[in-house]
Amino acid sequence: MANVILLKRGLATDLGSLSLQEGEIAIAYDAEKKSAQLYVGGAEGAKILVTADVASAVQNALEQANRYADEHIAEKIGELVNGAPTTLDTLKELADELQKNEGIVNTLNTAIGNKVDKIAGKGLSEADFTNEEKEKLSGIAENANNYTHPAKHDASIIAEDTTHRFVTDAEKTKWNAKLDSNSTVDGGTF
Protein backbone atom coordinates (compact mmCIF):
# COMPACT_ATOMS: atom_id res chain seq x y z
CA MET A 1 0.00 0.00 0.00
CA ALA A 2 1.40 3.41 -0.94
CA ASN A 3 1.07 6.56 1.11
CA VAL A 4 -0.28 9.51 -0.82
CA ILE A 5 0.21 13.14 0.11
CA LEU A 6 -2.22 15.60 -1.39
CA LEU A 7 -0.85 19.02 -2.21
CA LYS A 8 -3.50 21.70 -2.27
CA ARG A 9 -3.25 24.66 -4.58
CA GLY A 10 -5.33 27.74 -4.42
CA LEU A 11 -5.53 31.25 -3.08
CA ALA A 12 -6.34 32.08 0.49
CA THR A 13 -6.89 35.72 1.35
CA ASP A 14 -6.28 34.83 4.96
CA LEU A 15 -4.25 31.86 6.22
CA GLY A 16 -6.78 31.59 9.03
CA SER A 17 -9.34 30.37 6.49
CA LEU A 18 -7.01 27.62 5.23
CA SER A 19 -8.30 24.18 6.24
CA LEU A 20 -6.32 21.00 5.70
CA GLN A 21 -7.31 17.39 6.33
CA GLU A 22 -4.85 14.81 7.59
CA GLY A 23 -2.45 13.89 4.80
CA GLU A 24 -2.75 17.23 2.97
CA ILE A 25 0.16 19.66 2.62
CA ALA A 26 -0.02 23.33 1.64
CA ILE A 27 2.78 25.76 0.87
CA ALA A 28 1.85 29.39 1.51
CA TYR A 29 4.03 32.15 0.11
CA ASP A 30 3.80 35.90 0.16
CA ALA A 31 2.69 38.06 -2.78
CA GLU A 32 6.32 38.78 -3.79
CA LYS A 33 7.12 35.04 -3.59
CA LYS A 34 10.16 35.76 -1.41
CA SER A 35 9.20 33.68 1.59
CA ALA A 36 7.11 30.56 2.09
CA GLN A 37 5.59 28.59 4.91
CA LEU A 38 4.77 24.89 4.92
CA TYR A 39 1.54 23.65 6.51
CA VAL A 40 0.46 20.05 7.04
CA GLY A 41 -3.00 18.78 7.85
CA GLY A 42 -3.64 17.63 11.39
CA ALA A 43 -6.52 15.86 13.10
CA GLU A 44 -10.04 17.22 12.53
CA GLY A 45 -9.04 19.79 9.91
CA ALA A 46 -6.32 21.48 11.98
CA LYS A 47 -3.32 22.86 10.14
CA ILE A 48 0.18 22.68 11.52
CA LEU A 49 2.81 25.25 10.57
CA VAL A 50 6.07 23.49 9.81
CA THR A 51 8.95 25.47 11.27
CA ALA A 52 12.66 24.80 11.59
CA ASP A 53 12.46 21.03 11.82
CA VAL A 54 10.87 20.39 8.44
CA ALA A 55 11.91 16.73 8.32
CA SER A 56 10.18 15.83 11.59
CA ALA A 57 7.07 17.82 10.58
CA VAL A 58 6.87 15.98 7.26
CA GLN A 59 7.42 12.69 9.11
CA ASN A 60 4.61 13.65 11.50
CA ALA A 61 2.33 14.48 8.57
CA LEU A 62 3.12 11.12 6.95
CA GLU A 63 2.40 9.29 10.20
CA GLN A 64 -0.92 11.11 10.56
CA ALA A 65 -1.78 10.33 6.95
CA ASN A 66 -0.91 6.65 7.47
CA ARG A 67 -2.92 6.46 10.70
CA TYR A 68 -5.92 8.10 9.01
CA ALA A 69 -5.70 5.74 6.02
CA ASP A 70 -5.26 2.65 8.21
CA GLU A 71 -8.25 3.54 10.40
CA HIS A 72 -10.57 4.40 7.55
CA ILE A 73 -9.45 1.67 5.18
CA ALA A 74 -9.90 -0.96 7.90
CA GLU A 75 -13.38 0.45 8.59
CA LYS A 76 -14.34 0.38 4.89
CA ILE A 77 -13.02 -3.16 4.46
CA GLY A 78 -15.01 -4.19 7.53
CA GLU A 79 -18.14 -2.70 5.99
CA LEU A 80 -17.43 -4.49 2.71
CA VAL A 81 -16.87 -7.89 4.37
CA ASN A 82 -19.79 -7.30 6.77
CA GLY A 83 -19.68 -10.62 8.60
CA ALA A 84 -18.72 -12.84 5.66
CA PRO A 85 -17.30 -16.21 6.70
CA THR A 86 -13.51 -16.13 6.96
CA THR A 87 -13.20 -18.57 4.03
CA LEU A 88 -14.96 -16.15 1.64
CA ASP A 89 -13.91 -12.73 2.87
CA THR A 90 -11.42 -11.83 0.14
CA LEU A 91 -11.98 -11.14 -3.54
CA LYS A 92 -9.51 -13.93 -4.39
CA GLU A 93 -11.47 -16.49 -2.35
CA LEU A 94 -14.75 -15.37 -3.93
CA ALA A 95 -13.26 -15.53 -7.44
CA ASP A 96 -11.83 -19.02 -6.77
CA GLU A 97 -15.18 -20.26 -5.44
CA LEU A 98 -17.06 -18.82 -8.44
CA GLN A 99 -14.57 -20.43 -10.83
CA LYS A 100 -14.87 -23.78 -9.02
CA ASN A 101 -18.69 -23.65 -9.39
CA GLU A 102 -18.79 -22.27 -12.92
CA GLY A 103 -21.78 -24.43 -13.93
CA ILE A 104 -23.92 -23.11 -11.09
CA VAL A 105 -22.82 -19.56 -11.82
CA ASN A 106 -23.76 -19.95 -15.49
CA THR A 107 -27.16 -21.39 -14.52
CA LEU A 108 -27.78 -18.48 -12.16
CA ASN A 109 -26.68 -15.93 -14.76
CA THR A 110 -29.01 -17.51 -17.32
CA ALA A 111 -31.91 -17.48 -14.84
CA ILE A 112 -31.23 -13.85 -13.97
CA GLY A 113 -31.07 -13.00 -17.67
CA ASN A 114 -34.48 -14.61 -18.23
CA LYS A 115 -36.24 -12.94 -15.33
CA VAL A 116 -39.17 -10.65 -15.89
CA ASP A 117 -38.34 -7.04 -15.15
CA LYS A 118 -40.69 -5.20 -12.84
CA ILE A 119 -42.34 -2.31 -14.63
CA ALA A 120 -43.75 0.56 -12.58
CA GLY A 121 -47.54 0.45 -12.48
CA LYS A 122 -47.72 -3.19 -13.54
CA GLY A 123 -47.89 -6.24 -11.32
CA LEU A 124 -46.26 -9.60 -11.84
CA SER A 125 -48.13 -12.84 -11.19
CA GLU A 126 -47.58 -16.57 -11.41
CA ALA A 127 -49.78 -16.69 -14.53
CA ASP A 128 -47.55 -16.95 -17.58
CA PHE A 129 -49.42 -15.29 -20.43
CA THR A 130 -48.09 -15.11 -23.93
CA ASN A 131 -48.68 -11.92 -25.89
CA GLU A 132 -51.32 -13.78 -27.95
CA GLU A 133 -53.19 -14.91 -24.82
CA LYS A 134 -53.06 -11.40 -23.40
CA GLU A 135 -54.47 -9.96 -26.64
CA LYS A 136 -57.25 -12.55 -26.59
CA LEU A 137 -58.13 -11.69 -22.98
CA SER A 138 -58.09 -7.99 -23.67
CA GLY A 139 -60.60 -8.56 -26.50
CA ILE A 140 -63.29 -9.86 -24.11
CA ALA A 141 -66.02 -7.30 -23.43
CA GLU A 142 -66.35 -5.74 -19.97
CA ASN A 143 -68.54 -7.95 -17.68
CA ALA A 144 -68.82 -10.63 -20.38
CA ASN A 145 -68.52 -13.35 -17.76
CA ASN A 146 -71.27 -11.97 -15.46
CA TYR A 147 -73.84 -14.63 -16.42
CA THR A 148 -76.91 -15.03 -14.21
CA HIS A 149 -79.00 -18.13 -14.71
CA PRO A 150 -82.66 -17.16 -15.23
CA ALA A 151 -85.30 -18.32 -12.74
CA LYS A 152 -87.41 -19.81 -15.59
CA HIS A 153 -86.89 -20.60 -19.26
CA ASP A 154 -89.14 -20.19 -22.21
CA ALA A 155 -89.95 -23.68 -23.49
CA SER A 156 -88.90 -22.71 -26.99
CA ILE A 157 -85.21 -22.77 -25.99
CA ILE A 158 -85.34 -26.49 -25.15
CA ALA A 159 -84.40 -28.82 -28.00
CA GLU A 160 -86.40 -32.09 -28.02
CA ASP A 161 -84.78 -35.40 -28.82
CA THR A 162 -85.63 -39.09 -28.29
CA THR A 163 -85.05 -38.93 -24.54
CA HIS A 164 -86.29 -35.38 -23.92
CA ARG A 165 -89.89 -34.56 -24.91
CA PHE A 166 -92.53 -32.08 -23.88
CA VAL A 167 -95.66 -33.41 -22.15
CA THR A 168 -98.89 -31.46 -22.32
CA ASP A 169 -101.37 -31.14 -19.46
CA ALA A 170 -103.84 -33.28 -21.44
CA GLU A 171 -101.24 -36.07 -21.79
CA LYS A 172 -100.45 -35.89 -18.07
CA THR A 173 -104.20 -36.18 -17.19
CA LYS A 174 -104.61 -39.12 -19.54
CA TRP A 175 -101.57 -40.91 -18.06
CA ASN A 176 -102.67 -40.23 -14.51
CA ALA A 177 -106.11 -41.67 -15.27
CA LYS A 178 -104.66 -45.02 -16.32
CA LEU A 179 -104.78 -47.83 -13.80
CA ASP A 180 -101.69 -49.13 -12.12
CA SER A 181 -101.04 -52.65 -10.78
CA ASN A 182 -102.62 -51.85 -7.39
CA SER A 183 -105.79 -50.41 -8.88
CA THR A 184 -109.11 -52.25 -8.53
CA VAL A 185 -112.00 -52.36 -10.99
CA ASP A 186 -115.34 -53.56 -9.80
CA GLY A 187 -113.64 -55.02 -6.69
CA GLY A 188 -111.03 -56.97 -8.63
CA THR A 189 -107.24 -56.41 -8.76
CA PHE A 190 -105.14 -56.39 -11.86
Residue 48: what pLDDT?
A: 65
Q: What is the pLDDT of residue 2?
A: 41
| Distances 181 to 177, 185, 187, 189, 190 between C-alpha atoms, Å | 13, 11, 13, 8, 6
User: Using alpha carbons only, how large is the chain's radius of gyration in Å?
Assistant: 47
HSE value, Cβ hemisphere, 13 Å, CA-based, for 189? 2
As to burial, measured by CB atoms within 10 angstroms (0-12 exposed, 13-18 middle, 19+ buried), residue 39 is buried
pLDDT of 74: 75
Specify the pLDDT at position 65: 81
pLDDT of res. 7: 58
Distance CA(23)–CA(41), nearest Å, equals: 6
Q: What are the mean pLDDT values of the chain's consecutive 10-residue runs (190 residues total)? A: 52 66 73 69 67 66 81 76 74 84 88 78 66 81 81 82 86 81 63
CA 108 to chain CA centroid, Å, is: 16
**pLDDT (0 to 100) of residue 112:** 87
Is the CB of residue 47 less than 8 Å from the CB of residue 40? yes
The secondary structure of 17-35 as a DSSP string is: G----TTEEEEEE-TTSS-
Provide the pLDDT for residue 90. 77
Q: Specify the pLDDT at position 132.
A: 82
- How far is it, in rounded angstroms, from Cα 98 to Cα 92? 10
- Each domain of the chain, given as residue ranges in start order, spans 20-81
